[in-house]
Amino acid sequence: MRNRLTILLVALAMAAAACAGERGSDTAAGGGEDGGATGDGETGGGDADADGGETGDGDCADGDTDGDLVLYNWSDYIDPELLEAFSQEHGVSVTEDFYPSNEEMLAKVQGGASGYDIVVPSDYMVGIMIGEGLLAELDRDALPNADNVDEEFSDPPFDPGSVYSMPYQWGTTGLGVDLEVVGEDAPHSWALLFDPEVTADYQGRMSMLDDPREAMAAALAYLGHDINTTSEDELGEAADLIAETSDRLAAFDSNLYGDLLMSGETAVAHGYSGTFFAAFDEADDPDRYTYVIPEEGGVKWVDTIAILADAPHPCTAHTFINFILDAENGAALTNWTYYASPNAAAEEFIVEDILEDPAIYPPEEVLAELEFLRDTGDAEILYNDLFTRAKS
């Protein structure tokens, strides 16, 4: 594990190769016939009846399958061995496509008939998708392992009673820092991105997430504003700050930021905790790097696993969610991703160094200063538009 991880009071990617412009690459586990992704950007999920199973009538029992699984996920967010284990256990193949942001995933599935069974939306996006009727209600009879979920995550505000989603992983968003370049005495602040004086020695060697809510949250926190503000003036200030910073960035990137930091192309990277932890663990000199949750505050998040309302294979999807909620499988997920687990039963199987790392499982006083991103209603459009304009 990493020997040096910095958490302040408030505070490798085998990323998908771009394919057909708007979607990630795909990987398949196991052997089935109808789970593959086609080259035109649409999955080949097909009609579940062709697989001899029942389609989405809501009557799925524990362990039922009704065809191969088509998963739409963030890149590098599940151990391929888990996918292979599921495939072998249930005799279905798994095709996985990738997206870099909640907003891109939403746009992909809004038109319907995407061919995907499962998506992995973040907390605020779950509420949006419920409101648009994009998610299926979960059949709890098919999810006995739901009892393993920690009570803290069992009744989330974005999905009361976990009717449409189950927690997948949780963590924080902060900064990965190359101490050899930035220095041991660098401020633990968003100034490591936004202050031109602080960043003078590594101009052009920074990256920000290519994600409107996360990028705007960083700017809003630095400016002292609520990261869920709906104020047009405050959002405008945040967008202006990102625009001013964009010329000093190497990239807006949500997939390769860990690689860019480890290769030396960047010295400061905005990103998700687990990606950095996994990267540091593989480094020749892990003491060279640190993860910072800036003192101005920032984002804590829960990613979920959910079934699309038009999923071609809803029973297989339920069986996959139940598989992930298994105690040992949930631990295997965390041991591979380096993100914290919402699965209470998994704790005994999680690597001790992960459980005891305050950067992965921050203390209460740190978590108290962080916020979840919330659905801001009509302001979501403003976040997206302003961010798009700021980075152009």
- And the tokens for 97? 């496509």
Nearest to 389 by CA among 196, 244, 202, 208: 244
> Which amino acid is residue 115, in one-letter code?
G
Amino acid 5: pLDDT = 34
Task: Measure the CA dihedral 246/252/256/257, to 10°.
Answer: 50
Helices 379-391 and 232-246 sit at what angle, rounded to 10 degrees? Answer: 20
Give residue-wise pLDDT tens across range 207-256: 999 999 999 999 999 999 999 999 999 999 999 999 999 999 999 999 89
Residue ranges with strand state E in the chain:
26-29, 69-74, 94-99, 118-119, 165-178, 206-208, 251-252, 268-272, 289-292, 298-307, 370-371
**Whether the domain at 26-170+302-362 and the domain at 172-300+366-391 fall into the same CATH topology:** yes
Which fold, 26-170+302-362?
A: D-Maltodextrin-Binding Protein; domain 2 (3.40.190)
Cα(281)–Cα(286) distance, integer angstroms: 6
Give per-10-residue mean pLDDT for the chain (392 aa).
31 31 38 34 38 50 96 95 98 96 95 93 96 97 97 92 98 96 93 97 97 97 97 98 97 94 97 92 91 92 97 98 98 96 98 92 87 93 97 92
Assigned architecture for domain 172-300+366-391 = 3-Layer(aba) Sandwich (3.40)
pLDDT, residue 390, reads 98
- Would you list the domain boundaries of the chain? 26-170+302-362, 172-300+366-391
Dist. CA 181–CA 262, nearest whole Å: 12
The CA-based angle 108-110-113, given to 5 degrees, is 80
pLDDT of residue 252: 97
What 8-state DSSP symbol labels residue 179? H
| pLDDT tens, residue by residue, 55-77 | 344 589 999 999 999 999 999 99
Under 8 Å between Cβ of 341 and 169: yes
Residue 120 has what DSSP assignment?
Answer: -
Separation CA 336–CA 84 (nearest Å)? 14
Rg of the chain (C-alpha set): 20
Computed over every residue of the chain, the mean pLDDT equals 86
